[in-house]
Structure 1
């Protein structure tokens, strides 16, 4: 639940010049975690943990809507190595402080044994307003996500990028899916978080936008009609950054491992780079119908990497591995230029071999029930060394 506020500062003078991409794009990641009691493994109050990690004035951590959740934020990173180190530092700080407070952190889209009826809201005026305005939707909002920011300075250009990356969002979701359980039950979904998220009236795939002024106008209408509490509560799956001059990817479940967070960031940055190259060359944006995008996202949430997914550009069902390879082919140039090809392809193929977090959770459930899932999630969340 971002507290960002959108600024209505479209670039003056109409369409700006579009020079080719030069050098790496900046990126940053926001990770949301569940905080659980170290003994009972039930959701715990994140307040003491937040006080501990912020006692030195750190702005890398913030409260979330529900009391048992906490968010961490990396700084601005220019390479995957820097990003990985920052993600590791943020998690290590939380891990150390959690041990001090008798808690543990869990990175997953949903927390398998959690019951939304037993977890309160964080006491903040904005969160109080959201809880009252949205009633049961807010009450059941016990989910965690991973957001990736990629730097795009020009606001109109960021809107063009948003229009172009939408067909690739479902495969990003499939790779990150980490929420197959809800209130102790098997849901049949790889990302049940997505179905919870979709119920908000301002969530989902963004519309096709003509300019940043158009974006600001649409956001203003949502806020003005009371649909959104503020501009930061326009929960599109990708959007122009509200506080920063970025393109913000919001499609992913909370990434259980650092490897999975790095994969999301690397692919997101490469997608933005590819879009900027296409814009500089004057290439037309792909045309994809809203209903196909919606169907593709639903199928990714339902099946993750286990079944066929919809390629929105080709409008066909293909094996998940085929769609992952099509994404890698699409961003091969940016990945090669940034020196990220080997790492990102290794992480992507590793996900196809081992499964996403949802797949691994299901295997743990088959072996040890919900307790086995929880223990595996805590282990994977707190293992900050890269997987070999």
Structure 2
């Protein structure tokens, strides 16, 4: 939960008229990744984020952000038009952050939730963070959680709101692809994404409601601020949201991914999904109207099962094998993947994920192989975080 800012990734895209071809040009991409700073011996969270950022230099320093916990650092990619350049940025930023963490005695780890414990839960000394602490109490002092946020350039804000409507049936599938936080307090929680469970305590986090227009969106946000649910519009933490300042849609449903290749897979799929939804909107296909309680239930199931069980198909309301829905997502976005030149790469990475499992599956496999050795899991995650 970073402070509001005007330098979000993926925003260097010029607005185009809404009657322009939906995918005449590649949609821009940007990714924010949040990481934990852990003690290399105990695995506990270390409150050294300021020191880590001070140890960064050059581009990496400029692309780092202060986060809501002293044990977290966020790295933000520049705008990319292709997955190859996005991957280069991700590798460079992860390695720079890992070197800075190592310089202060910490280990940079791409994991979605605090795996062992976090003794220091005070917020950074910023007025807005103190306001959040006073308003939301213990919720604002939960152990740190880390997400992966993908920004996709969209021609205008009205269209961005409509894209968010169309995304609702598919975002639980995206969430299931990213699950990477089964551990809490040194034990398996039974949930593939414990991060998702923690975040449900915040009143402004969850599935994006259906909105009739950008004006409807803005009016609803203002009503929630007036009601005291949010301090300001920057506290819109819905799983998909239009930027308040730029023509982008931000998808923020996923855990931070364990590897760069996992992040590239998610980013490529998300861009193709947004492009596909734009095509549907321009073709006059209406967004499905799904009851909010069913959407919330589908996200709970995705956070619990990941890809190792079943997901709720929100088009029918029935559970189905998770990989059946992933295959349907891939088929749905295949034309958009081809237009962006991403189809071969994404299909290959999806097969790798099918073979190796999600981040949560991999962590559980190591736990099983080592008799529950959390340190072995964290050592593996740290190595995967910076692997090229």
- Taking structure 1 as the reference length, the TM-score comes to 0.92
State the partner residue of 2:385.
Answer: 381
Structure 1: how far apart are the matches of 2:22 and 2:155?
14
Q: Which residues of structure 2 form unaligned runs of 5+? A: 7-16
Specify the SS of the correspondent of 2:252.
strand
8 Å contact kept, 1:2–1:232: no
Equivalent in the alignment of 2:2:
2
3-state DSSP class of the match of 1:331? helix
- Match of residue 10 from structure 1: none
**How far is 1:4 from its partner?**
2.6
Count of matched residue positions in the alignment of Structure 1 and Structure 2: 375
RMSD: 1.8
SS in 1 for 2:315: coil
In the other structure, the counterpart of 1:214 is 216
The alpha carbon displacement at 1:198 in A equals 1.1
Q: How far apart are 1:95 and its partner, in Å?
A: 1.7
Contact 1:191/1:304, CA 8 A, preserved across alignment = yes
Name the residue aligned to 2:79.
Answer: 76
Residues 1:111 and 2:114 aligned together: yes
Question: How is 1:1-388 mapped onto 2 (pairs within 5 angstroms)?
Answer: 1-4=1-4, 16-17=18-19, 19-44=21-46, 45-54=48-57, 58-115=61-118, 117-368=119-370, 369-383=373-387, 385=388
CA distance in 2, matches of 1:222, 1:152: 25
Provide closer, same or farther for how the CA distance between residues 371 and 39 of structure 1 changes in structure 2, counting only shifts above 3 A: closer
Stretches of 4+ moved more than 6 A in 1? none
**CA separation in 2, counterparts of 1:102 and 1:371?**
16
- Listed as ranges, the gaps of 5+ residues in structure 1 are 7-14
Q: Higher mean Cα deviation, 16-25 or 197-206?
A: 16-25
Deviation at 1:312, TM superposition (A): 0.7
- 1:177–1:356 Cα contact (<8 Å) kept: yes
- Which digits, 9 at most, give the CA deviation of each residue in 1:242-286, with x for residues without a partner? 343200001000111111111111111001100111122222222
**How many angstroms apart in 2 are the aligned matches of 1:338 and 1:155?**
22
Contact 1:2 1:233 in 2 (8 A): no
SS for the counterpart of 1:283 is coil
For normalisation by structure 2, the TM-score amounts to: 0.92
Tell me the distance in 2 between the aligned counterparts of 1:243 and 1:23: 21
Preserved contact between residue 5 and residue 230 of structure 1 (Cα < 8 Å): no
Moved more, 42-51 or 158-167: 42-51
| 1: CA distance, partners of 2:269 / 2:59 | 33
Shift of 1:40: 4.1
Q: Supply the distance in 1 between the matched residues of 2:59 and 2:333 (Cα, whole angstroms).
A: 40
Report how far residue 59 of structure 1 moved: 2.6
1:205–1:236 CA contact under 8 A, matched in 2: yes
